[in-house]
Structure 1
Amino acid sequence: MHATVSDHRSDVAVLHLRGELDADTAGQLSAALAGLLERPVPRIVVDLTGLKFCDSVGLSAFITSKQVISARGGWLSFAGANPFLAQLMETVGLSRYFAIFPEVDDAIAAAQI
C-alpha cells in the first residue's frame, strides 16, 4: 500500500491510498494517520479510489483512528470506494459510523455544511 496526503482548504486533509491494505501494510496506514491525528481538529477524507483490497486489520486501523479524531472534535470520512470496498464497509457496519461519499470532492464539499 502507498499513502500520500494532500491538503484541501486549510482544515481538510485527503489521505490517498493505493494498493492493498492488509496486515502487512496496516503499519503504513497507521504512520500516515499519525501525523494527521496530531492536528488540533483532524478533518480527514480517505480517498479509496486506488485501494484495491482491505482486510479486517486495515478496517481496525480506521476505527481506532476515528476514536481519536472524534475525541478531538474532528471527523474522518471515506470517498471513492470500489464496489468490493463499499460492500465490505456496508457488511461490517462501517457505513453507520463513517460518512461514505462517491467522490473526494463530495466529501470535501460536505465538510463545508
Structure 2
Amino acid sequence: MHVSVVGNPDDSVVVTVRGDLDIDSNTVLSTTLGQVLDRDHPMIIVDLSGVNFCDSTGLSALVVGHNRARAGGGWLRLAAPSEFLGRLLDTVGLTPRIPVYATVADALADRNPG
C-alpha cells in the first residue's frame, strides 16, 4: 500500500491511499492519519479511488480518524470509493456517519463544516 498527503490552500489535506487497506498495511494509514489529525481543526479527505481491498482494520482506521477529526473540531470525508468499497461502507453502516463523495473535487467543494 502507498499513502500520500497533499495540503491545500484552505488548510484541508487530501490523504490518497493506493493498494490494499488491510491488517498488513493498516499501520501506514493509521500513522499518516494520526499525523494530520494532530492539527487544530483537521479537515481531511481520504481519496479511496486506488483502494483495491479493505478489511475491518482499514474500516476501523477510517472510523477512528473520523472520530478524532470531529473531536478536534474538524472533519474527515471519504472520496471516490470503488463500487465494491462503496457497498461495503453502506453495508457496515458508515455512510450515515462519515460523508462519502463521488470525487475528491466534490469533497473539497462542499463548504459544509462537517
- Which of the five TM-score ranges fits, normalised by the shorter chain? over 0.9
| Alignment partners' CA distance in 1, 2:111 and 2:79 | 13
Which residue matches 1:90? Answer: 90
Which residue matches 1:9? Answer: 9
Q: What's the CA shift string for 1:17-58, capped at 9, x where partnerless? A: 000000010000011111101111100000011111110011
Report the alpha carbon displacement of residue 7 of structure 1 after superposing the two structures with TM. 1.2
Which residue matches 2:52? Answer: 52
Q: What's the CA shift string for 1:55-79, capped at 9, x where partnerless? A: 0011011111211111111000011
Relative distance call for 1:112 and 1:8 in structure 2 (3 A) is farther
Once superposed, which parts of structure 1, at least 4 consecutive aligned residues long, lie more than 6 Å away?
none
% identical aligned pairs: 41
Q: Structure 1: any 5+ residue segments left out of the alignment?
A: none
Report the alpha carbon displacement of residue 112 of structure 1 after superposing the two structures with TM. 6.2
Residue correspondences, number:
113
| Alignment partners' CA distance in 2, 1:12 and 1:2 | 20
TM-score, scaled to structure 1: 0.95
Which residue matches 1:18? Answer: 18
| Alignment partners' CA distance in 1, 2:23 and 2:111 | 31
